[in-house]
Amino acid sequence: MSDKKPFRFSLQSFNTESPRSWRNLISKTEGLGYSTFFLADHVLSPGPALESTFHPPQMLAAVPAIAMALEQTSTLRVGCRVFCNDYRHPVVLAKEAATMDYLSEGRLEFGIGAGWIGAEYQAIGLPFDEFPERFSRFAEFVHAYKEFMSGEALEIAGQSINWSGFHGTPTPAQTPHPPLMIGGGSKKILTFAGEQADIVSLNFNNRAGMLGPDGMNSGLAGATAKKIDWVRQGAGERFEDIELEIGAYNTIITDHQQATAAAIGDALGMSAQDILDHPHCLIGSIDFICEQLLQRRETYGISYIAVLDDGENNMVESFAPVVERLAGK
């Protein structure tokens, strides 16, 4: 990649053992130089519905936790990676986003996706429509979000959004709107993201509705390169303006790289090398991980990296040397 964007790093977390621990995690994230703190947008707590998805439980609701993190900090960007479009009334979500950006003086990052965990929809009593219907609602919201943030009079007559006779308020601090992140792993989502997003979050194709080998296979090196081609097709001339982001969901700082990769690979039916080359994995020493991130930016153009702090792995501190070495460079 000839035009490399500087590295940014985010910490994603959504569980905590206490309010004090949560506040401490946010303060550490800001103090250690991370660009952004992200929530996620799932509602299931432990139980049969969640167990069928192999997804970690999410304790905290995204919007109030984002608002709290913004209030507690002064430089840290905060957002959701990513909101599920179907879980809120569209105008409520747009107004909440505008309000958080306005009150934080421009530190919100706004992520949105079409939704993918069918078991979660079912557990909370929402119809899990086929993907074309969910995509249509999602695409309508993306356009409506931008119109709401403009502050102009709203006259939208769509299939799922019908707004008229009012203006979007408050006007967000960031113009034309808080950076829009679109996350997904399918061709349709990523092509659309290329057309519309400021940040594209490259994810698994979660067509199975659960985490596991199918998703991991959809994120292998070759599949990731294909996803970036889809983004490029949608973006056209604006591709160089897009920030490519990825979640390094398997980030392990270790001196036992091969054994660790082999153990993960065995569980997923992959080779150790597949795991080490996997764009969603960072396994090895700090030096190795830094070099690998530089190589991946050269190969893919990915410069924005999310790591997950699950409340027990202390990722905020263990990954901090990588942040110190590469952030902004």
- The structure tokens listed for 210 are 């659960």
Handedness of CA 257, 225, 319, 115 (dihedral sign): negative
The amino acid present at 170, given as its one-letter code, is: P
Q: Could you identify the residue written with the tokens 């530089």?
A: 294
**d(Cα 285, Cα 291) in Å, to the nearest integer?**
10
Count of H helices and E strands in the chain?
14, 12
**d(Cα 55, Cα 69) in Å, to the nearest integer?**
24
Tell me 270's DSSP state: -
Taking alpha carbons only, the member of 31, 218, 245 closest to residue 116 is 218
Write out pLDDT tens, residues 177-233: 999 999 999 999 999 999 999 999 999 776 656 566 777 888 899 999 999 999 999
The amino acid present at 82, given as its one-letter code, is: V
Please, what are the domains in the chain?
A: 8-326 (3.20.20.30)
CB atoms within 10 A of CB 235: 20
Write out pLDDT tens, residues 11-41: 999 899 999 999 999 999 999 999 999 999 9
Q: Of 182 and 45, which is predicted with more confidence?
A: 182
Write out pLDDT tens, residues 246-257: 999 999 999 999
**d(Cα 220, Cα 3) in Å, to the nearest integer?**
24
Taking alpha carbons only, the member of 328, 174, 308, 322 closest to residue 247 is 308
CB atoms within 10 A of CB 3: 8
